[in-house]
Structure formats: structure tokens, C-alpha cells
Amino acid sequence: MERFSRKINDSEENKKVDRFLSEIHAVCKKHGLCIEHEDSHGSFIIESYSKGSDFDWLNDASVGESVE
């Protein structure tokens, strides 16, 4: 999947990040939990997986400068 890379300041594929996020998604489904983000304080919230599709939000994450 193409996602924004801060290293090149453009979109590109990063299979390592794709595999990482895929494994996180599998763990969320396995445990019935989802990672959400609270924008007002910058912290994370663990919610029920059935609550919604916040994995789509996580899956759209940008790639940081130090990720190969």
C-alpha cells in the first residue's frame, strides 16, 4: 500500500510497514480490541473492535524518517 513517507516527503510503498500493520490488525481481531487515538491529548484508547473501523485510520499511518 502506498502511504506518505516523511523520509522522501512523498508517497511510496513500504512492505515492512504493511506487514507490521497487518499483524497488528490480526491481534486486534484476535482479542476483540482496537487502538484508537484521542486527538485532544495525544494518547491512545483501547476500545472494542466491534465499535468501529478505527483500524482504517491506523492503516493510513505515515512512515517515519528512520523506518527502512
* 35: containing domain: 2-59
**Neighbour-count burial of 60, counting CB atoms closer than 10 A to its CB (0-12 exposed, 13-18 middle, 19+ buried):** exposed
Structural domains of the chain, count:
1
Range 40-64 average pLDDT: 78
Please indicate, yes or no, if residue 21 is contained in any of the structural domains.
yes
Please indicate, yes or no, if residue 8 is contained in any of the structural domains.
yes
Instruction: Tell me the pLDDT of the chain averaged across its residues.
Output: 86
Please indicate, yes or no, if residue 66 is contained in any of the structural domains.
no
Quick one: which of 41, 32, 35, 30 has its CA closest to 59? 35
Q: Which band of pLDDT confidence, cut at 50, 70 and 90, is reported for residue 34?
A: confident
